[in-house]
Structure formats: structure tokens, C-alpha cells
Amino acid sequence: MKIGVLALQGAFREHIQMLKQLNVETKEIRNKEDLEDIQGIILPGGESTAMGKLLVDLNIKDKLKNMIENGLPVLGTCAGMILLANKLSNDTTSHLALMDILVKRNAYGRQLGSFTTYENFKGIEDLVKMVFIRAPYIEKVGDNVDILATVNNNIVAARTNNILVISFHPELTEDTKVHKYFLEMCKASSLN
């Protein structure tokens, strides 16, 4: 199994490092051709406006969108969640627009918005370490979206079928549980 990591901007190296630690083959996605032959993809944290623009400029957006619509498992962390949201509450843009969630960018404030907490995550047994950095959260979900984690009543993790989004950064911790959860999604889907 080979997992792609969008490597245009942001915290992609840390995701690759974590996947390597879990003995998973990785592929840096920098252009449209790189999207061949992957069984899942991670859209990392970073700056969603910059990443969204690069997806268009490098001609990756349409093919990526099509592959996810056709079932490619995707994990969007932080800015990656923003890229996948249908609608942003405090921004007029949308990017890949693949998930029925309303997301607020920089929801905890721009400067003082970084913190760490341990919370429950549906489908994972132990508490998950959650590191937030100028993070978004989900204000509203559609009927087909499963809420997986909340922090102070704000939704910070959710899933619809092959799309998993989280507000926080597991790749910046030693906690591999969310990556393992995502890899299970990829394994299950490549058996189909």
C-alpha cells in the first residue's frame, strides 16, 4: 500500500515521517502525474489559501477531486480540512468542496490559538493527543457526516465514507493512533 502526501506546502514532511515509522510506503504529491498508483492521500496542515491556489496553478485540483469522489481515502488535517469543506463560515472561498461541513478558519484566534489537549475519538480506544495550531473547527455537519471528536463542544474530527478530517496535528506528536485509523480506512477500501 502506498499513501500519497500532498507536498506543496505545510507540514507534509512530518506526515511522511509518521507513515514511515508505521512502515508504510509514501509518495510526495507535487504534480498531477504523482497521483497515479496511490491507495490513499493526506492533505497536510499549512496555509489553506496558498495550498488551494497551488492545487489550481499546478493543475492537480480536478484530478484529485475526481479521485476522492470516486472513493480514494483522504485524511485532511487542519488546512487540509479547510480544503475539503464545502463551505467556510468566515471566508468566501471554497477549494475541493467535497464534504458537507461548515468550517471556521482560525477559529481559536490567529495568535493565541495554539494548545494541546487529550480527548476521546470515536473508533479509537484511548485518548488522542490533539495539538492545535491556528486551527479551524467545524460549526455544522450535514446528515451523512459522522462526528468523531469534539473539544469544548466544537467539532474537531469528522468522517463521511472515504473522507476523514481533523482540526489538529497528530503528525507533530508521537501519537500514531489517528494515522493508524486512517490506514485502516485505506486497507478496507483497497480490498473493494
Annotated binding site for L-glutamine: 46-48, 105, 133-134
Among residues 9 and 176, whose Cβ is nearest to ligand GLN? 9
DSSP string, the chain: -EEEEE-SSSSHHHHHHHHHHTT-EEEEE-SGGGGTT-SEEEE-SS-HHHHHHHHHHTT-HHHHHHHHHTT--EEEETHHHHHHEEEETT-S--SS--EEEEEETTTT-SSS--EEEEEEETTEEEEEEEEESS--EEEEE-TT-EEEEEETTEEEEEEETTEEEESS-GGGSS--HHHHHHHHHHHHHHT-
List the one residue from 3, 78, 178, 185 that touches ligand GLN (CB under 6 A): 78
Among 15, 95, 171, 186, the active-site one is 171
**Segment near ligand GLN (CB under 6 A); pick from 31-39, 45-53, 58-66, 183-191:** 45-53
List the one residue from 43, 82, 156, 158 that touches ligand GLN (CB under 6 A): 82
To the query of whether residue 186 is one of the catalytic residues in this protein, the response is no
Q: How far is the CB of 105 from ligand GLN (least distance, A)?
A: 4
Q: How far is the CB of 33 from ligand GLN (least distance, A)?
A: 26
Contact 91, 47 (CB under 8 A): no
List the one residue from 95, 105, 129, 179 that touches ligand GLN (CB under 6 A): 105
Size of the site for ligand GLN (CB under 6 A): 11
If one asks whether residue 95 binds ligand GLN (CB under 6 A), the answer comes out as: no
Among residues 124 and 133, whose Cβ is nearest to ligand GLN? 133
Contact 136, 43 (CB under 8 A): no
Contact set with ligand GLN (CB under 6 A): 45-48, 78-79, 82, 105-106, 133-134
Annotated catalytic residues are 78, 169, 171
